[in-house]
Amino acid sequence: MTRLWDRGTPLDTVVARLTVGRDPELDLRLVAHDALASAAHAEMLAAIGILSAEELAGVRAELRTIVGEALAGEFVIDPADEDGHTAIENRLTERLGDAGRRIHTGRSRNDQVIAALRLWGREALLSLHAETRTLVEGLLERAEAERETAVPGYSHTRQAMVTTLGHWLAAHAESLLDDLPWIERAYAHLNRSPLGSASGFGVALDLDRPGVAESLGFDGVQANTLAVQNDRGKSEWLALGAAVAIANDLGRLAGDLIWLSSDELRFVKLPDALTTGSSIMPQKRNPDVLELVRAGAAALRGHHAAIAGVYAPLASGYHRDLQLTKAPFLEGMVLAADLLQATAAVVAGLEVDADRCREAIQPATGATDALYARVARGEPFRSAYRAIAARPEAPSSEAAEGWRSRRHLGAPGAFDAAPERERLERAQAFGAAERERIEAVWQAFESPSV
């Protein structure tokens, strides 16, 4: 087919390659959401008299067919079409004639692409939210089971004080719980409609922007039409930022697990099915999955920086530069979901060797608890410190039980997963309510009667 702005002059091949870029492939992921937004836009056009009721019905039916094809992997974006938005309009025109020629009334590809990205992005954020909750649940379950498993606690990768594996697992759960509000904040940011802002300056039509927003399940409209364009890239950066916060926590968890499962420590064993072998050393069982979780987090930090690098220096209004924020956003969000799923599988299949954990405890690791036993008897801290420093080794059985004496809030001797479980439940309610709202939007789109 053709580019929407075709002037009849042939396009230089390098220019075509550079401008089209990866859009034909990347936009395939956005086609369903683009069609959903197009249906809401078409409904509004019918309400203000641009499309007839019959034309609207035709457009809606064809958009549903397009979504079906997109989900089945059958929708094709020809590079000659430039991008997914053009492919959809060309298809509507080919099948429906003037109704297709009217669909772009009151919009521009600039607000169209943002709408698709926001609709896609809010679903991706909800999935991330759900997968984070699954991992937190897995960590808390394992933490509860290992609440009495004594293990050396480390700082500077040197033995510091004895803790429990449960305390260590629950620490990772808490970090991830702290990331959920980041996702919710990014979700709220994305959950406003850009539609009707057109190229950034509005159009001379009485568009019902709030009506479109409502039928797409958005919380409201992004008001200033220029601010809509200025927000492109920023939204993606915020959303991926939440994914990066999670990935960074996963990277730390992965690093811990690589170390705790090393041949030297063997406190935990990774599930066999999730380790990989060596092509030369028959005995090897390698933690490649965890290494890729760690490196995946690094890649995400790169994607995040790439988005800011493109959007932040731009002057107001649309610039084609913004197209290059699409790949790091789409691919980054998908990668983050993979990292979460892989980590959850490892956590669920971990085998704990409680004897190894206990045997590894060095007697001197009990020094600080012994010091505090003296403090409890009234000795000044520094005098007790000096006395223990002269002979820090405690009998190892005592050292291994020292964690029980630390019972203030959050300490290993006062293990309590209830507050985390409560936070998890609240997050669960948010996820379920938003999922339901989005489902209702898709259902209304799919129902031929509307």
Q: Catalytic site residues?
A: 156, 278
| Position 164 contacts ligand ARG (CB under 6 A) | no
Give me the least distance between CB of 323 and ligand ARG, in Å please: 4
Task: Check residue 89 for interaction with ligand ARG (CB under 6 A).
Answer: no
Closest to 325 in 3D by CA, of 302, 306, 343: 306
- Residue 214 and residue 219: Cα distance in Å, rounded? 7
- C-alpha distances in Å from residue 286, one per residue of 205, 278, 282, 415: 62, 8, 11, 32
Among 109, 129, 189, 303, binds ligand ARG (CB under 6 A): 109
Cα dist from 73 to 67, 69, 275, 345, whole Å: 10, 6, 32, 28
Report how far residue 82's alpha carbon sits from residue 84's, in angstroms, rounded to the nearest whole number: 7
**Alpha-helical runs (H) found in 276-417:** 288-311, 326-349, 354-359, 367-376, 381-390, 396-401
CB of 236 to ligand ARG, least distance (A): 11
**Choice between 31 and 139, CB closer to ligand ARG:** 31
Task: Report, in Å, the least distance between residue 90 CB and ligand ARG.
Answer: 15
Q: Which is nearer to ligand ARG, 182 or 318 (CB)?
A: 318
CB of 325 to ligand ARG, least distance (A): 8
One-letter amino acid for residue 388 of the chain: I
Nearer to ligand ARG, 75 or 182 (CB): 75
Nearer to ligand ARG, 292 or 327 (CB): 327
Residue with smaller CB distance to ligand ARG, 323 or 343: 323
Q: Note whether 163 binds ligand ARG by CB under 6 A.
A: no
- What is the signed CA dihedral for 393, 398, 402, 405, rounded to 10 degrees? -130
User: Among residues 110 and 132, whose Cβ is nearest to ligand ARG?
Assistant: 110
Residues numbered 3 to 62 that lie near ligand ARG (CB under 6 A) are 23
Number of residues near ligand ARG (by CB under 6 A): 10
Q: At what angle do helices 84-96 and 31-47 cross, to 10 degrees?
A: 50
Written as one string, the DSSP assignment of 156-180 is TTEEEEEEEHHHHHHHHHHHHHHHH
Name which of 12 and 439 has its Cβ closer to ligand ARG. Answer: 12
Nearest to 194 by CA among 225, 216, 217: 225
E-strand stretches of 78-223: 150-155, 158-164, 192-193, 220-221
Closest distance of CB 87 from ligand ARG, Å? 11
* Sole binder of ligand ARG in the list 126, 239, 322, 367 (CB under 6 A): 322
Segment interacting with ligand ARG (CB under 6 A) among 6-14, 105-113, 250-258, 377-385:
105-113
75 binds ligand ARG per the rule CB under 6 A: no
> Closest CB to ligand ARG among 107 and 167?
107
Burial class (CB in 10 A: 0-12, 13-18, 19+), 389: exposed
Residue 59 three-state SS: helix
Q: Which of 32, 63, 81, 110 binds ligand ARG (CB under 6 A)?
A: 110
Q: Using CB under 6 A, which residues numbered 112 to 141 contact ligand ARG? A: 113
Strand, coil or helix: 392 = coil
Residue 223 CB, nearest approach to ligand ARG (Å): 21
158 lies in the site for ligand ARG, by CB under 6 A = no
d(CA 410, CA 426): 21
Q: How far apart are CA 415 and CA 59, in angstroms?
A: 59
The single-letter code of the amino acid at 265 is L
Report, in Å, the least distance between residue 442 CB and ligand ARG: 24
Q: How far is the CB of 305 from ligand ARG (least distance, A)?
A: 19
Q: Which of 43, 55, 81, 83 binds ligand ARG (CB under 6 A)?
A: 83
Q: Is residue 326 close enough to count as binding ligand ARG by CB under 6 A?
A: yes
Region of 350 on the Ramachandran plot (φ > 0 left; ψ -120 to 50 alpha; else beta): beta
In the region spanning residues 302 to 321, those forming contacts with ligand ARG, defined by CB under 6 A, are 318, 320
Which parts of 339-368 interact with ligand ARG (CB under 6 A)?
A: none
Q: Which of 193, 323, 343, 368 binds ligand ARG (CB under 6 A)?
A: 323
d(CA 206, CA 336) in angstroms, rounded, equals 41
Q: Return the range that interacts with ligand ARG (CB under 6 A); candidates 54-62, 108-116, 209-217, 357-365.
A: 108-116
Task: Name the residues that contact ligand ARG, by CB under 6 A.
Answer: 23, 83, 109-110, 113, 318, 320, 322-323, 326
